[in-house]
Structure 1
Amino acid sequence: MLAKSMETMMPESLADRRIPAGDDFLPPDAVAAITPDVLIARMAALKPLVASKAASAERDRRPDDEVWAALRQSGYFYLYVPRRFGGLEFDPDTYISATLPIAEACPSTGWTACFAAEHNWLIAQMPEATQAEVWGRTPYVIAPSAAAPPGVATPVEGGFRLSGRWKWGTCVMHADWIMLNALEPVAGGAPVVRMMLMRAEDVRVIDTWQMAGMAATGSNDIAVDDLFIPEGHQFAVQPVRSGRGNGRAIHGPGLYGSPMLPNLCVTAAIPALGAARQAVMLCRDRLRAHVKLGSTTTSVEKPAGQMRLARADLLARSAERTIRAAARENLLIGEIDEPEQTGERIRIRAEIAIAVQQCVEAVRTCCEAVGSSVHALDNPMQRLLRDVQVMQSHIVYDLDVATELHGRALVGLAPNSLLL
């Protein structure tokens, strides 16, 4: 049972619906037998189930439990757990390819699942003893990583006392662990940003997720009141931003030595790409049957319909190339020293922001091509549109911020944002 207070206790309806990960993990030999092709095929096979539950997941404002159980049984959540701790440690291209079928079927579920998988990368930035403890207790984590607004971490003997309330708790409805950013005050200097790790039963989940899009993510608020965090259950964020954290020291360069923010940007872009790809498929099928009022032929025979479909397809393909290239390149820029690396991280962020804009445009173009029926609540197209519009509002995809940062870097000015 989660801790409660009279002021902001989690409503019983939400408490009843928060399902911790449980203990139905795969045997080690079953995990070892999973290849990239096997995992991708399993996720493709799950697409019809995910699609069949998308509408009810949106109504319930959380990922569907049957879908979540199927994802667990597929081995998907082992993607970014290091091999030395029993995981798959697959490359970013496999991560993208395995996630896309889920994101196509339900972008909200794809969003929650891919963040749950990617957040194991953050566990790999914890001290080695903590990694062994965490992955010894649960062979992968289901954990939100909430950064804003940051809490306060007060140093005490053996660790910190943590308090705060955080928004955007993606994964919290199935969480076993929680990661929260906090500021450690420093006398006479800037505070140190630290990521704190705790068990899900030690936080309060507050029912706030009432959204026009991405409703099925269940990204409710999280609150902590004066919780003790051991020294080993946290890391300073700054070194991890440039790929110089515990991940590199323990696991070497490459995946766990890559910069943090581009990894986040890639993760959050995959569901938008899935929505764009699915919109193209649904638009193509709809054009074959759609006859506009006053017309005697299907829209697929009209040049306007063909051009809209082609434009949407090309936008989605262009976005996918950008996202995949950024994921591969991020494995390499961890080897670049500062200050040059900061400019590369800024550029990758801006490139992915433009790719997400292309995904949104692809979905809008498809919706405009197929008539008013696309906005019926039983039509999945309207859910794709609402989901990508909310995804687009994520701070890492704010084009004004991303392009200003890149422009400043191009003319030799220092960044004017801490989100790098």
Structure 2
Amino acid sequence: MPSFPTSGTDLHVRTQELASVASRYAERADADRMLSPAVTDGIVDAGFARHFVPARLGGTEGTAAGLLGAVSTLAQGCTSAAWSASVIAGAGRMGAYLPEEGQDELWAKGANTVVVGALMPRGSATAVSGGWRVTGEWAYTSAVGFSDWALVCALVPQDGARVPWFFALPRRDYDVADTWTSLGMRGTASNTLIADNVFVPAHLGFTRQDMIEGRSVGSRARCHTAPLRLLSGLLFGAPALGAARAALRVWADDARTGAEEEELSLRTALARATIAVDGAALLLERAAGVADAPAAGPLELTRNPADCAYAVERLVDVVEGLLRASGSSGQLAGHPLQRIWRDVHSLASHVALRFDPAAGAYGSQLLQPGPGSGTP
């Protein structure tokens, strides 16, 4: 039976409690290269897995703004936990592009089913009677260790071309190789998912283009009809906002013990960093509002990715400056600031957060004449 929906308000309240738990386990997650069960269970219980699941299957059909607030709150406790929560929510959204029979199977045990996404087309699929045979290895699959299902991207021969499709695999059909030894975001356990000649029924596949354009099946909720470009930067950028806020808190706590003659420079540095974080938050909040709006024009479609990438650049700059200003103490093993510094640098390297490609598309739109161009 479908689980009872969790509201966006419930998600926010539960995430505030979860952030405290995640904070206590953050150093251990960094050392172990995985999240504690107390944290992974909390992510599911808070409602992240169900946040974008269709309502007919017990999901919340939540908003981008609600997810931004919850993920950034969780990141104040642990960036890796927040990233995992965000990508699980995003993968749940992807399930809405399956045929309804596939959706019913994916969420047969309830909307809290943990789905992860392997987004790059690093596999191959061959059509067979009744479905497909899928083989591939997908590195950097965040949260795969506590997943119930995975949506993997594979190339399908079609009309002389190779077209990216997503295929839903239950946990029994894939293995996980321990390959994640990153500088930062270590707790995400973004290991390699491996599938070897797995049979996938036809109702458990959909084209990547359906997801990119927001061609959902059976749901007209905006979280399912919104084009991917309105959401992807938010999903990956939201953890950076909370991480920067955590860095501000840690740095301010340390600064309170500074020498009196340094107080003016400390106050100035803290004010500048806080204003920069607030500015980045405004950009991300605007992007979330656009994603939640009933429709978006060409300007918004190109501005959202640029806004998110630019915001994350500024957040990385803030954390960079705070670490430098902390002296040697902030760089000591076990100090939260150096862990946050590693985390934000790692997450900012994600392809969805690269500013130049996003800015190029946005700039091209700004140069277009007429209404909706962003220029007179």
TM over 0.5, shorter chain: yes
What's the secondary structure of 1:117's corresponding residue?
helix
Aligned-pair distance for 1:55?
0.8
C-alpha distance in 2 between matches for 1:42 and 1:161: 40
Match of 2:273, as an amino acid?
Answer: A
CA contact (8 A) 1:176 1:200 kept: yes
Aligned-pair distance for 1:253?
4.7
Q: State yes or no: 1:260 paired with 2:207.
A: no
Match of 1:230, as an amino acid?
Answer: P
C-alpha distance in 2 between matches for 1:281 and 1:267: 23
Q: Which residue of 80, 88, 95 maps to 2:67?
A: 95
Match of 2:301, as an amino acid?
Answer: R
Match of 1:159, as an amino acid?
Answer: G
The 5 Å alignment of 1:46-65 reads: 46-65=18-37
C-alpha distance in 1 between matches for 2:19 and 2:354: 30
C-alpha distance in 2 between matches for 1:394 and 1:262: 16
Q: Normalized per residue, which structure has more strand? A: 2
What is the aligned residue count? 368
Match of 2:15, as an amino acid?
Answer: M
User: What corresponds to 1:211 in structure 2?
Assistant: 182
Aligned-pair distance for 1:139?
2.4
The 5 Å alignment of 1:120-159 reads: 120-159=92-131
C-alpha distance in 1 between matches for 2:89 and 2:290: 20
C-alpha distance in 2 between matches for 1:73 and 1:215: 22
Aligned-pair distance for 1:191?
2.1
C-alpha distance in 2 between matches for 1:183 and 1:411: 35
CA separation of 1:397 and 1:39: change in aligned 2, threshold 3 A: closer
Q: State yes or no: 1:71 paired with 2:43.
A: yes
What's the secondary structure of 2:59's corresponding residue?
coil
C-alpha distance in 1 between matches for 2:86 and 2:103: 20
Q: Please, what TM-score do these two structures have when normalized by structure 2?
A: 0.92
What's the secondary structure of 2:107's corresponding residue?
helix
Aligned-pair distance for 1:298?
6.3
User: What corresponds to 1:405 in structure 2?
Assistant: 361
User: What corresponds to 1:184 in structure 2?
Assistant: 156
Q: Which residue of 311, 314, 332 maps to 1:376?
A: 332
Q: Deviations over 1:48-97 (max 9, x none)?
A: 22111001111111111111123333334322222221122222222122
Match of 1:258, as an amino acid?
Answer: A
Aligned-pair distance for 1:164?
1.3
CA contact (8 A) 2:64 2:231 kept: no
C-alpha distance in 1 between matches for 2:24 and 2:242: 16
Match of 1:385, as an amino acid?
Answer: W
The 5 Å alignment of 1:225-374 reads: 225-246=196-217, 250-291=218-259, 297=260, 299=262, 301-302=263-264, 304-332=265-293, 335=295, 341=298, 344-374=300-330
C-alpha distance in 2 between matches for 1:177 and 1:392: 26
Aligned-pair distance for 1:410?
4.2
C-alpha distance in 2 between matches for 1:223 and 1:72: 24
Match of 1:315, as an amino acid?
Answer: A
User: What corresponds to 1:224 in structure 2?
Assistant: 195
Q: After the TM superposition, which of the residue ranges 365-374 and 210-219 deviates more from structure 2? A: 365-374
Q: After the TM superposition, which of the residue ranges 265-274 and 403-412 deviates more from structure 2? A: 403-412
Match of 1:196, as an amino acid?
Answer: F
C-alpha distance in 2 between matches for 1:154 and 1:410: 42
Aligned-pair distance for 1:178?
0.9
CA contact (8 A) 1:149 1:167 kept: no
- What stretches of structure 2 of length at least 5 have no aligned partner? 369-376
User: What corresponds to 2:79 in structure 1?
Assistant: 107
Q: Deviations over 1:295-318 (max 9, x none)?
A: xx164x22x222221121111111
User: What corresponds to 2:350 in structure 1?
Assistant: 394
CA contact (8 A) 1:315 1:358 kept: yes
C-alpha distance in 2 between matches for 1:366 and 1:271: 18
Aligned-pair distance for 1:173?
0.8
User: What corresponds to 2:374 in structure 1?
Assistant: none
Q: Deviations over 1:24-46 (max 9, x none)?
A: x9x94xx44x4433331221122
CA separation of 1:405 and 1:74: change in aligned 2, threshold 3 A: closer
Q: CA RMSD in A?
A: 2.0
CA contact (8 A) 2:232 2:305 kept: no
> What percent identity do the matched residue pairs reach?
30
C-alpha distance in 2 between matches for 1:231 and 1:131: 12
CA contact (8 A) 1:119 1:141 kept: no
C-alpha distance in 1 between matches for 2:301 and 2:126: 31
